[in-house]
């Protein structure tokens, strides 16, 4: 019994929204036919109007229920109100059975096509989610496997070779620390993804000083990349921006690290923020090699292949980090983009200055 009930509920679902939509469309059809009836002595105008109304009801409601109800009500209205003798139901009128069958056929066909279209759209959305999930897992597996292999190799070299000099041991241990820091960054990105969920997820924002968030991100970056010069430009007046400070700091950290790693020859980075048209515009500009033009269309969707984003160390994939940045910015109601400059690249994102409900 349960499968039959679920099938019936799926084919003939009821909702107050669909009821209101159907009532509004049929009322509009009747409202169109009443002045036409007063202005024209013939009765043939009502049928095509109500056929169109039935088609609209079938298109804008779910399942077959309201389309079939609209078919019956349409035939009754045409017969009772808009066909002579008026205000009398006359089942002996010429063409009445044909009109009823046409209304019913239009309803069933439109409902079937609409249901198929919705099912196709749902399957497409599910396929896109599966594809995105597979891309994420592929990216994470690459980003985690290589540094773990390096950590195991370096620690094994230190443990299995007691005769190594202190400088050699220090060099290997520094490699281990660098790989561990990279793994921490990957885990932070994954935690950010689970925190914001889908692009439509709601997050809690409070006004925060933009220069403090930028300063914290830059301070941590300088500790990891002391050889790269970083300048910070902020407005003269304190700029308060509604945001989740931890997530926005994560965005800035990802963009700074991206500039350092994938710029290859980056020696200078400029980080800035300014108020612009009701938004706070954050920018991270570097003097590196820039972004290959073929990568720009898919830069933020996490689908970049490893051989498209590999730097000299062979393991730094920027697809995951940038897709996390875009998801965080979108969750704040903002936008993000990237472009090449005459020397280097610039990543910008904009956050609304008004706190969203």
Triad 206, 338, 249: Cα angle to 5°: 30
Cβ within 8 Å of residue 159, ≥6 positions away? none
318 touches 303 (CB < 8 A): no
Tell me the C-alpha distance between 313 and 318, whole Å.
Answer: 13
Any bridge partners for residue 273, and if so which? Answer: 282
- CATH topology classification for 201-352: Heat Shock Protein 90 (3.30.565)
pTM for the model: 0.55
| Residue pair 196/346 in contact by the 8 Å Cβ criterion | no
If you ran DSSP here, which 8-state letter would residue 343 be given? T
Per-residue pLDDT of the chain (357 residues; tens, 9 = 90+): 444 456 677 777 888 988 999 899 989 988 888 887 777 656 667 778 888 888 888 888 887 788 888 888 887 787 778 777 777 777 666 666 776 677 777 767 777 777 777 778 888 888 877 776 676 666 667 667 777 888 898 899 888 888 888 888 888 898 888 788 778 777 776 776 666 655 444 577 889 999 999 998 999 899 888 899 999 999 989 999 999 888 898 889 889 988 988 888 899 999 999 999 899 999 999 999 888 888 887 787 655 544 444 443 444 454 567 887 888 898 888 999 999 988 899 999 999 998 655
Q: What is the pLDDT of residues 82-120, one digit of tens each?
A: 777 777 777 666 666 776 677 777 767 777 777 777 778
pLDDT in tens, 143-174: 677 778 888 988 998 888 888 888 888 888 98
Is the Cβ–Cβ distance between 85 and 129 less than 8 Å? no
φ and ψ of 7, to 5 deg = -65, -45
Q: Where in the chain is the domain with CATH 3.30.565.10?
A: 201-352
With tokens 């036919």, the residue in question is 33
């Amino acid at each position: 019994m349960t499968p039959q009930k679920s099938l019936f509920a799926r084919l003939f679902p009821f909702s107050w929204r669909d009821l209101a939509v159907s009532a509004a469309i049929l009322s509009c059809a009747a409202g169109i036919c009443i002045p036409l009836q007063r202005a024209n002595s013939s009765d043939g105008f009502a049928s095509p109007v109500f056929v169109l109304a039935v088609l609209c009801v079938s298109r804008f409601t779910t399942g077959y229920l309201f389309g079939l109800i609209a078919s019956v009500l349409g035939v009754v209205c045409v017969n009772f109100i808009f066909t002579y003798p008026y205000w009398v139901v006359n089942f002996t009128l010429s063409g009445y059975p044909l009109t009823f069958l046409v209304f019913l056929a239009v309803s069933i066909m439109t409902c079937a096509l609409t249901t198929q279209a919705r099912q196709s759209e749902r399957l497409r959305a599910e396929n896109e989610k599966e594809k995105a999930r597979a891309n994420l897992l592929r990216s994470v597996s690459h980003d985690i496997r290589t540094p773990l292999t390096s950590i195991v190799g370096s620690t094994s070299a230190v443990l299995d070779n007691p005769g190594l000099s202190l400088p050699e041991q220090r060099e290997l241990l520094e490699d281990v620390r660098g790989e561990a820091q990279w793994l921490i960054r990957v885990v932070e990105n994954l935690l950010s993804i689970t925190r914001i969920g889908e692009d439509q997820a709601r997050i809690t924002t409070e006004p925060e000083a933009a220069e403090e968030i930028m300063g914290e991100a830059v301070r941590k970056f300088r500790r990891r990349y002391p050889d790269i010069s970083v300048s910070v430009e902020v407005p003269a007046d304190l700029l308060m921006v509604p945001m989740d400070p931890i997530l926005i700091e994560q965005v800035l950290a990802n963009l700074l690290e991206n500039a350092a790693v994938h710029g290859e020859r980056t020696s200078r980075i400029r980080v800035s923020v300014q108020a612009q048209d009701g938004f706070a515009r954050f920018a991270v500009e570097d003097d590196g090699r820039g972004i290959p033009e073929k990568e720009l269309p898919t830069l933020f969707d996490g689908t970049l292949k490893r051989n498209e984003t590999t730097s000299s160390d062979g393991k730094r994939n920027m697809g995951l980090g940038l897709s996390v940045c875009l998801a965080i910015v979108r969750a704040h109601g903002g936008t993000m983009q990237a472009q090449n400059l005459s020397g280097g690249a610039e990543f910008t994102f904009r956050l609304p200055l008004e706190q969203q409900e």
